[in-house]
Amino acid sequence: MADQTPVFQIQRMYLKDLSLEQPNSPKILLEQTQPQVDINLGVSAEPVTDGIFEVCVTATVTTKVGDKVLFLVEAKQAGIFEIRNLPQEQMQGIVGIVCPQMIYPYLRAIVSDVCTRAGFPPILLTEVNFQAMYEAQQAQAAEANGSGSRIITGAN
């Protein structure tokens, strides 16, 4: 009989994608108006192979002065996790809550660092309740599909 011991291991954390745009530089840099900051987060998960999952947390930070973009940062931090021998309902919670919680601190640091290196004050992403985010996504999926069970989806 095969070993049925539950397994949860981080295989790797990595920066999957990073983009910085300053479409209206240098002229907009002379503006003295306080910029507006809009932050969007997304979580996605995909199986890589049997028992191996890639989980990504994506942040899109758009900073505008009036109707012009000052800068736009898009960052996607990912992790590869080995998850085996768990019931499906626990598996979804681990992939949708636990894994993103482990990835998010790296994403926060990257966004802050890239803003600073671009010559702007750092954007400090606030803490996120991934359990509430997961539950909201599940409720939205259940409403859209008429059923309650689905692996995480989010903006990429």
Q: Would 29 be classed as within a structural domain?
A: yes
**DSSP for 2-42, written as a single string:** -----EEEEEEEEEEEEEEE-TTTTGGGG--SPPEEEEEEE
Report the predicted TM-score, pTM, of the whole model to 2 decimal places. 0.84
Range(s) of the domain holding residue 31: 7-145
Q: Any idea what the CATH number is for the domain that residue 98 is in? A: 3.10.420.10
What's the pLDDT tens digit per position in 42-85?
A: 999 999 999 999 999 999 999 999 999 999 999 999 999 999 99
User: 3-state class of 72 per DSSP?
Assistant: strand
First CA to last CA distance, the chain: 40
Q: Would 154 be classed as within a structural domain?
A: no
pLDDT bin (cut points 50, 70, 90) of residue 148 is: very low
In this predicted structure, what is the pLDDT of residue 89?
A: 82
Amino acid present at 44: S
What's the pLDDT tens digit per position in 128-137?
A: 999 998 888 8
Q: For residue 16, how far is the Cα from the chain centroid?
A: 11
Give how many domains the chain has, as a whole number. Answer: 1
